[in-house]
Structure 1
């Protein structure tokens, strides 16, 4: 296959609660990210997503957006436990999710503190006597991630003007070697200070303590991030499989921070218009290959419980996706999807366990690929498109969207 396959992940853009949400994540059974936005903004129009089948996938029309009779669409459940950006993207890339352990940082603080001290780091405890996190070398905090599923990740956060990213990663790798949670996330930015990070401290449920990422000023400039995962084998994922087959791979946005792509091109970017402009530029320069782009600001708006900001980001993404469609060839495929939900009206700042849309532009018209059981079906379809070996997990739906393939 000589075409291009583009996947755009609108981070946190779910459609409605999964059937198991009440059991797996009590409270999420009433979640619907798109439903909340339509309730808050009945006049919401996303013409390009609408044309791709947004309302078809949602299963109902709104005041201003209707079913698209020629759309090729579907929905997908999440196979990974909970509702997680890192695990969601590993799943998209073809990993069969493995359930990590759940620990609040208090359960591991002694062990991690000792490991850091043994490696020659200075370590100070912050917080209250009963709820503490670590400040390493007077510059890096190690604490619970309170921006997503509680107990599933630890953050290592530092101002990069004070602590270079490679040194931050040294700390994060020590933490990773002593943690069994799903992710250890190392991130920081420039222009902020240790005091800015410490001022973002918050607690959850009386047993989690962390630094709310959106308040640390890490995203403002010079942002760098790396996610160290649990139970992930890059060799059975799409980027490694395609690279082995000689296919170009480009990861843009947050996916560049969390998916292994040693032999391809990875570019971190947060701003929605910028990351989609990069996608168009990469598409224009690529004769054949795979591009995956993460639009992160939808997720950030959900974490901030800010539906007005969510709408603004979605409208920007819709406009840019329309521009991108004008750069696609007849033999290209575009999939617009999500990795989980992040309902801005749910009443908490965590992800929500929702089915996600699969909006597909291909040669097929008027096709419904149904409710897929795993996000890995997208990764399997990508590999099938390039006649490459299948990833660890997932079932291709290529024949359903490319009738003459």
Structure 2
């Protein structure tokens, strides 16, 4: 008897009840992708035609969309497996960021407002910049604004390589991001400076400092690498990972889960460069996961490569590739294992800007021989509550098991 939580990063299924407060009324990541595919707007050399995710449909994702928005997106209607549960959930936390979503999935909603940097240029406090440069021994920073990570590296990467200045930028999330070249600057040096920055931004209540290493020789071929690392604050309460760790359970975290939870209760970590590699890591971990164990995985490409870049066709292709691999995962599960597929927020590729969107998320569960509509859930913490009950762990402080 084991439990697996797989987070399809940013696969939202329609605006939450408070989406208008975030400027996201009408956002619908999966619904808008399916509509674009149905109208030929997501055809390219890699994929074409209606969105083809039959295994997710059989787990109930179309029905989850119907619960969230009142309609089933094109090509997502179909019979649901007898062993599937499906529903949707709206977020209780105040943000629409990665830590808030994941922590709430793990049973800890975020009750406070994060600190954010203003949409000005420069956007970082002068004292913060001076202290960072002095303590890190760098000649200065460049960027100092809200920016797309790929664009700012293309714009400033060559200058950074020549001068040694740090490329520092932020977004609508509560983040301080530092980009540096792996070869000319050094990966370990970048990590050490990010750890320093983590301490410096603590008084500002910033959720994450993110190391954004890149490679290449010039703007035309700069590329971010898989060596990203997030320096997060720890969750403000006991998560389902903490419950499992305290009980001595086998825990495996896949992808950036260990960074999101500040390496607390995350057990053995496996990383991979992209969704396919992360799927391989997940399959390997399932084969080794002990009875009573917990696996927690994040699949990042949907968000980072396609949502933020507003690439509808790329997002659709990534969903279809993920779906094609689901039978490999399902075939490795024992009859008493619990699998939950969900998301942490939206990132609608049809939306204005490049930020996350405040959306409901799907809850798709593979359980024991019964189809069940679990309805609209208030809060992602119902996932943690369900996992705790399934594994016989002490309950988390928030959420109701379904």
Q: What TM-score bracket applies, with the shorter chain setting the length?
A: 0.7 to 0.9
Aligned with 2:349 (options 326, 344, 367):
344
Match in the other structure for 2:279? 276
Aligned with 1:292 (options 284, 290, 296):
296
2:400 aligned counterpart, secondary structure: coil
2:360 aligned counterpart, secondary structure: strand
Match in the other structure for 1:4? 2
Q: Which TM-score applies when normalising by structure 2?
A: 0.83
Please list, as runs of the form range in 1=range in 2, the aligned pairs for 1:52-201 lying within 5 A after superposition.
52-59=59-66, 60-69=71-80, 70=82, 71-97=84-110, 98-104=112-118, 106=122, 108-119=124-135, 121-127=137-143, 138-139=163-164, 141=166, 143-146=168-171, 149=172, 152-179=174-201, 180-189=204-213, 191-192=215-216, 196=219
Deviations 1:236-262 (A, max 9, x none): 122222111011111112323322345
Q: Tell me how far apart the structure 2 counterparts of residues 64 and 127 of structure 1 sit (CA, whole Å).
A: 43
Q: Tell me how far apart the structure 2 counterparts of residues 278 and 267 of structure 1 sit (CA, whole Å).
A: 6
Does the aligned pair in 2 maintain the 1:115–1:174 contact within 8 Å? no
Q: Tell me how far apart the structure 1 counterparts of residues 37 and 55 of structure 2 sit (CA, whole Å).
A: 18
Q: How many residues align?
A: 367
CA shift in 2, pair 1:109/1:171, >3 Å: farther
Deviations 1:162-205 (A, max 9, x none): 44444323322332333224323232346336x65xx9xxxxxx
CA shift in 2, pair 1:49/1:108, >3 Å: same
Residue 120 of structure 1 deviates from its aligned partner by 5.6
Residue 114 of structure 1 deviates from its aligned partner by 2.6
Does the aligned pair in 1 maintain the 2:143–2:169 contact within 8 Å? no
Match in the other structure for 1:204? none
Residue 342 of structure 1 deviates from its aligned partner by 0.8
Q: Tell me how far apart the structure 2 counterparts of residues 137 and 265 of structure 1 sit (CA, whole Å).
A: 38
Please list, as runs of the form range in 1=range in 2, the aligned pairs for 1:22-41 lying within 5 A after superposition.
22-23=20-21, 25-26=22-23, 28-41=24-37
Q: Tell me how far apart the structure 1 counterparts of residues 57 and 222 of structure 2 sit (CA, whole Å).
A: 36
**Does structure 1 residue 306 correspond to structure 2 residue 311?**
yes
Aligned with 1:323 (options 328, 334, 339):
328
**Does structure 1 residue 51 correspond to structure 2 residue 58?**
yes
CA shift in 2, pair 1:166/1:337, >3 Å: same
Match in the other structure for 1:14? 12
Aligned alpha-carbon RMSD (Å): 2.9
Q: Tell me how far apart the structure 2 counterparts of residues 384 and 39 of structure 1 sit (CA, whole Å).
A: 38
Residue 311 of structure 1 deviates from its aligned partner by 0.8
**Does structure 1 residue 266 correspond to structure 2 residue 269?**
yes
Q: Tell me how far apart the structure 2 counterparts of residues 218 and 343 of structure 1 sit (CA, whole Å).
A: 22
Match in the other structure for 1:242? 244
Structure 1, unpaired ranges of 5+ = 200-214, 398-405
CA shift in 2, pair 1:142/1:312, >3 Å: same
Q: Which moved more, 1:380-389 or 1:44-53?
A: 380-389
The structure whose residues are more often strand, as a share, is 1
Match in the other structure for 1:252? 254
